Amino acid sequence: MISEKFLIKAANIRRDYLKLTNDIDSVEKKIKSIVSFIEGQQDRLDDIKNKVEKGDIKSKESFAEKALMVIMDLEKETASYEAGVDDVNKKIDKLREDEISLFNELKTKYSNIPDKELKSKINEYLKSQNLL
């Protein structure tokens, strides 16, 4: 009833969705690990503070250099998290566009078939491909 090319497109969208959920899980785990990273940077700042109080770091330049290194490490790590989130957002947008495009193609080609029936046929195909 529904052309195989549309069913294959639906299966590809579903595969991309499943991959995306794994990507989201990975980004989520990475973001949750930021707490321990920040705690490590806090330890570095505390160490710098203790060295200043003991007199081990005497110059403003040395203090600024060590503090700047901590800040730069925080920025680099934050950029890594942002890149992961941005990548996931781009994939979500692409998936949404692909889904809308497929839906519009199906509605154009099969305007006489109700949406519910189209979805049912696609879900049957996805189940046969072990994607649901």
> Each residue of 76-102: pLDDT tens digit?
999 988 999 999 999 999 999 999 999
Is the torsion defined by CA of 41, 43, 45, 51 positive or negative? negative
Residue 28 host element (H or E): helix 4-32
Start-to-end C-alpha separation, the chain: 20
Domain span holding position 33? 4-128
pTM for this prediction: 0.74
Q: What is the pLDDT of residues 20-61, one digit of tens each?
A: 999 999 999 988 888 899 999 999 999 999 999 999 988 999
Do 110 and 118 meet the contact criterion of CB atoms below 8 Å apart? Answer: yes
CA–CA dist 131, 35 (Å, integer) = 35
CA–CA dist 110, 120 (Å, integer) = 14
CA–CA dist 105, 87 (Å, integer) = 27
Number of folded domains in the chain? 1
Q: What is the pLDDT of residue 1?
A: 81
